[in-house]
Copies of this chain bind each other. A is one copy, B any other.
Amino acid sequence: MKTITIIGTGLIGGSAALDIRKAGFATELIGVDQNEENAAQAVEIGLVDRVLPLAEAAALSDLILVAIPVTAIQKLLPSLLDMVPQHTVVIDLGSTKSLLCEAVKTHPHRAQFVAAHPIAGTENSGPTAALEGLYQGKMNIICEKELSSAHALSAAEALFSVLGLKTIFMQPEEHDKHVAYVSHLSHVSSFLLGLTVLDVEKDERNIFTLAGSGFASTVRLAKSSPDMWAPIFEQNAHFLSHALAEYIKHLQQFHQCLLNGQTDQLYQMMQQANQIRPVLDGIAQVSPVK
């Protein structure tokens, strides 16, 4: 039985807290949050038992989950590894991995750290966005596992099993490249679709009465928190800018065919895009889309 600290009591950390509590995986759940309002709310709705300053919480904890924006993780990790007791395991849950791994690569306590990324979330944020079962059946990526101790990996494995995550292993660059396409690019596409339509239709807000469930689905991620996503885009700028350039290139090609009246080409592009169906069916098997 363990004392577990959650740094960042929002959607990601709060959802983990709910499942940890339900499974009886912790003797005590401590919250750490720079935002005092969030911290108070996390106690009030029972995500954590109490809130402590970082250093006090770190000294008491067997396991620490870091679930804050990725640039904040990058800054915090070295000093956090400086201050934790020798048996304490630190796991980050950030959506980028290269810069975070880089930040502690040569740290004397690197072996106490596990770099992870559970592929789960919603477009909502804050303590009240926490959901029981958010991670159930989802994928999780651990990077540079060869730099984590057997003790740290086994603690992480026990936690991820409680959350219902399926873990695979990857190097940080490989991780960042692939999530640029299958996660970060979708967010950019959705944010900018929302912004484009708002910009163009700004004088006729009532026109959104014409928007149906297709629009809602495509633009859902545009509701996501800039506090979380600006740091992700900044940290993954290299791979994301490649992905975005490819997307823009494809859109320009479609645009040209549309202007030229080349409906056959449009048809072919859509037919190729339809190949995403079995892929999505695969995702649905791993984790039902609600």
Chain A interface residues toward B at CB < 8 A = 119-121, 123, 138-139, 141, 168, 178-179, 181-183, 185-201, 204-205, 207-224, 226, 229-231, 233-234, 237, 240-241, 243-248, 250-252, 254-255, 258-259, 261, 263, 266-267, 269-277, 279-280, 282-284, 286-287, 289-290
Are A192's CB and B223's CB within 8 A? no
A213 to B217, CA, bound (A): 11
How far is the CB of A222 from the nearest CB of chain B, in Å? 4
A17 to B49, CA, bound (A): 56
Rounded to whole angstroms, the CA-CA distance of A8 and B138 in the bound complex is 40
Interface of A is mostly: helix
The answer on a CB contact under 8 Å between A267 and B189 is no
Q: Are A254 and B258 in contact (CB under 8 A)?
A: no
Assess whether B210 is in contact with A270, with CB atoms less than 8 Å apart: no
Complex contacts, A187 vs chain B, CB 8 Å: 214, 218
Chain B hits for A217, CB < 8 A: 186, 217-218, 220-221, 289
Chain B residue numbers with a CB within 8 Å of A218 are 186-187, 189-190, 217-218, 220-221
> Chain B residue with minimal CB distance to A269?
B195
Q: Name the B residues within 8 Å of A190 (CB-CB).
A: 218
How far, in angstroms, from A217 to B221 measured CA to CA in the complex?
A: 8
Judge whether B280 and A220 touch: CB under 8 Å.
yes
Nearest B-chain residue to A120, judged by Cβ: B212
Give the residue of B179, B212, B223 whose beta carbon is less than 8 angstroms from that of A274.
B223
In the bound complex, residues from chain B placing their C-beta under 8 Å from that of A275 are 194, 198
In the assembled complex, the Cα of A217 lies from the Cα of B214 at a distance in Å of 9
Whether the Cβ atoms of A241 and B255 lie closer than 8 Å is yes
Nearest residue (CB) in B for A138 is: B212
- Distance of A252 Cα from B244 Cα, bound (Å): 9
Q: Which residues of B contact A205 (CB under 8 A)?
A: 279
Is A189's CB under 8 angstroms from B191's CB?
A: no
A172 → chain B closest CB, angstroms: 14
Q: Which residues of chain B have C-beta atoms less than 8 A from A229's C-beta?
A: 270
A289 to B258, CA, bound (A): 30
